[in-house]
Amino acid sequence: MKFKEPLIKAKFISRPNRFITIIDINGEKHRSHLADPGRLKELLFPGVELLVREIKNIKKRKTKFSTIMVRFKGQLISLVSTLPNQFVKDELIKQRLPFFQKFNLVRPEVTIGKHRFDFLLKDEEGEDFVLEVKSVTLVKNEIAMFPDSVTLRGKNHVQALKELVKKNQKTGVLFVCQRPDATSFQPMWKRDDKFCYALHEAHKFGVKMWCITLSISENGIKYNKEIPIYLDQNK
């Protein structure tokens, strides 16, 4: 998936709240919107290089820029939590994800009961498949980890997927690691054990789970590889 507009280099100064970064572009300070509400403390520290997008039409915005990526240890990492959904939608339409090649996209965003999920698919048997996508940016010792902050919404999602499976509805969670350096995935029990327990239980009941990594460049993102998932706390 290619980006439509070029990105601008900047330096990170501070983060006064979850959705705002103070950045430096050629010696001038600006406020820039940050779409990822996670902690990101392992990635965002003073002086680190960012790639941002200038917003041309700012009538409905308070910021002139959006923070898109950070360069960490020589590699680019996406900081747009909605980017995986855009990427997955494109890949589903083109049937390029290995484990979904025989699936068809019915529509993005499907509401079932009190919950809205990211995608409704038809599997190779013609049955409905509900898919939820989660963005991952944290990697430690080549292990992709989620969540990096407490996520009540995430817990509720996986619990709802488990309940759907109990009613013979096929469901799954796709973790999209927005960087290429992870070789496996595990839930971050120390950060949010309630979510991790819910994820573990959902998997036991039959909710399918995958994790993929992405290759990131200034021009776009593309599928890198699928990595194994380990859900147990002692892994």
Q: What's residue 234's pLDDT?
A: 64
The predicted-structure confidence for 106-158, as pLDDT tens digits, reads as follows 999 999 989 999 999 999 999 999 999 999 999 999 999 999 889 999 999 99
- pTM (2 d.p.): 0.89
Strand duo 208-216 + 170-177: pairing: parallel
Q: What's residue 45's pLDDT?
A: 92
What token pair was written down for 216?
A: 């990131």
What token pair was written down for 218?
A: 């200034």
Domain positions in the chain = 8-78, 83-227
Beta strands in 123-183 (DSSP E): 128-136, 138-140, 143-146, 170-177
Q: What's residue 5's pLDDT?
A: 80
Within 13 Å, how many C-alpha atoms sit on residue 230's CB side? 11
Do the domains 8-78 and 83-227 sit in the same CATH topology, yes or no? no
Strand duo 128-136 + 170-177: pairing: parallel
Mean pLDDT by 10 residues, the chain (235 residues): 88 94 96 87 93 83 91 92 93 94 95 94 96 95 94 95 97 96 96 96 97 93 96 77
Q: Which CATH class is domain 83-227?
A: alpha beta
53 close to 38: Cβ distance less than 8 angstroms: no
Q: What's residue 118's pLDDT?
A: 97
Query: What angle (nearest 5°) sits at the alpha carbon of residue 177, between those of residues 91 and 234?
Result: 135
CATH number of this structure's domain 8-78: 2.40.50.580
Measured CA to CA, the distance from residue 7 to residue 102 in angstroms comes to 35
Q: What's residue 7's pLDDT?
A: 93
